[in-house]
Amino acid sequence: MFGLSPFELAAVGVVAILLFGAKLPEVAHSLGRQYRDLRRGLNEVQDQFRQAQRELTRAIDEPVKSINSALADLDPEAPKDKEPAVPRFTPPPSQPDETA
């Protein structure tokens, strides 16, 4: 756990008991609360970035869609499907093996 061996974890536990003694539960509780608050703050920042990304994507996609629809209206013979107009690959015909 945490990249520490069991001996190292025991040493950290002994040092914590020596430093904090009877106040160890209070210290652990306050550390847990601070960690929870830190995680909440990080989640809020991540949510703000995700919201900004969604707004930016929406702001870019709407003009592109309107331009594409306007171009489609100008050229009625343009294909309406979404596939790109590239030639399909056709493999060459197989030749019989003439080793005999």
Residue 100 has pLDDT above 80, yes or no: no
Tens of pLDDT along 32-69? 999 999 999 999 999 999 999 999 998 888 888 888 77
Angstrom distance (rounded) from CA 81 to CA 86: 13
Q: Give the separation between CA 30 and CA 27, rounded to whole angstroms.
A: 5
CA distance 16 to 14: 5
**End-to-end CA separation in angstroms for the chain:** 68
Where do the structural domains in the chain lie, given as residue ranges? 7-74
Question: CA dist 86 to 52, 57, 75, 80, 83, Å?
Answer: 36, 28, 18, 15, 9
pTM greater than 0.85 (yes/no) = no
